[in-house]
Amino acid sequence: NAGVMQNPRHLVRRRGQEARLRCSPMKGHSHVYWYRQLPEEGLKFMVYLQKENIIDESGMPKERFSAEFPKEGPSILRIQQVVRGDSAAYFCASSPRGQASTNEKLFFGSGTQLSVL
């Protein structure tokens, strides 16, 4: 299956620990997007990356959150010193051409459910 792969599917962390969420885009896609979904809410954009570049991080909190998409390997969303409010489903999406067109469809992974105890 060459779809967007996210791992882990479920991640449990205690307050103050670090959470690392990984995303491998679809084959041939070089644009990755991270979204967060809180319970009973829609998805909210966090960050848009191309290989080795952050294009738009306007939706990501300035503190404790960081994202990268290295030349080799998956994209990583990192949350330091997690708090209970970070508990959510984190979805990654990818596309082949990025912001080339508003018709560009996004392909989503199955998400990582982060639970902070």
Partner 1 sequence: DQQVKQNSPSLSVQEGRISILNCDYTNSMFDYFLWYKKYPAEGPTFLISISSIKDKNEDGRFTVFLNKSAKHLSLHIVPSQPGDSAVYFCAASGDSNYQLIWGAGTKLIIKP
Sole binder of partner 1 in the list 77, 93, 114, 116 (CB under 8 A)? 93
Whole-angstrom distance, CA of residue 33 vs CA of residue 31: 7
Q: Which residue has the tokens 């979204």?
A: 35
Q: Which is nearer to partner 1, 66 or 110 (CB)?
A: 110
Q: Does position 95 bind partner 1 by CB under 8 A?
A: yes
Q: Which of 2, 45, 46, 56 is nearest to 25 (CA)?
A: 2
Nearest approach, Cβ of residue 1 and partner 1 (Å): 12
Interaction pattern, residues 44-63, with partner 1; x per rule: CB under 8 A: xx--x-------x-xx----
Q: Which is nearer to partner 1, 15 or 44 (CB)?
A: 44
- Could you tell me which residues come within 8 angstroms of residue 56 by beta carbon, excluding any fewer than 6 positions away? 47, 48
| Interface residue list for partner 1 (CB under 8 A) | 4, 6, 9, 33, 40-45, 48, 56, 58-59, 91, 93, 95, 98-99, 101-111
